[in-house]
Amino acid sequence: MQVTIVAVGKVREPYIKAGLEVYASRLASFHKLAFIDLPEERIPGGASEKEMAGIMNDTWERYLASGPRPAVTIALDPKGVLLPSEELASQLKGYELEGRGSIAFLIGGPLGLPDMVRKKADLVLSLSPMTFPHQLVRLILLEQLYRAMCINRNIPYHK
């Protein structure tokens, strides 16, 4: 299965880059993994809610119009469904058994994800009701994907 992580902005912190490399290498034996970094638009000081929504929509509209849509799209949002790791593993296994060849996880930037992205997603998933820096969300997501692969393949991994 092709797994793509689509996120606004670039990872700048060396410790996050190092963690991403660790989990990307672990996941490589299970899935093809790709990262797409969308440009982080500058938000003018004093921008209105409407202006910020426009900036956010423009960024994601360009991505959605840019190419083929993955078989499964999962938007990450704090207001999404909270799943224990075992249920996430089961959900991912179900997508594999259905023969869906690609999955994209969408991570918003400082402004989050626009409604249009959440509405088009197959699943809106929350990693936690807490707010995390969008760079760190990538690392948390990769760790959970690795954990899910271990659960699905009965590979021991710490709890």
- Which tokens sit at 135? 């760079």
Q: Is 159 among the domain residues?
A: no
The residue type of 44 is P
Q: What is the pLDDT along the chain (159 residues), one digit of tens a residue?
A: 899 999 999 999 999 999 999 999 999 998 999 999 998 877 778 888 888 888 888 888 888 888 678 889 999 999 999 999 999 999 999 999 999 989 999 999 888 899 999 999 999 999 999 888 888 999 999 999 999 999 999 999 866
What is the extent of the structural domain holding 61? Answer: 2-152
In a domain, 111, yes or no: yes
Q: How far is Cα 72 from Cα 122, in angstroms, rounded to an integer?
A: 6
CATH number at 142 reads 3.40.1280.10
- Please give the structure tokens belonging to residue 125: 């998933």
CB 9 within 8 A of CB 108: no
- Three-state DSSP at 7 gives strand
Contact call for residues 105 and 76 (beta carbons, < 8 A): yes
State pTM to two decimals: 0.92
- Left (φ > 0), alpha (ψ -120 to 50) or beta: where does 135 sit? alpha
Residue 23's Cβ-count burial label (10 Å; 0-12, 13-18, 19+) is buried
Q: Which of 123, 155, 134, 140 is nearest to 59 (CA)?
A: 134
Q: Please tell me the total count of domains within the chain.
A: 1
Does 148 reside within a domain?
A: yes
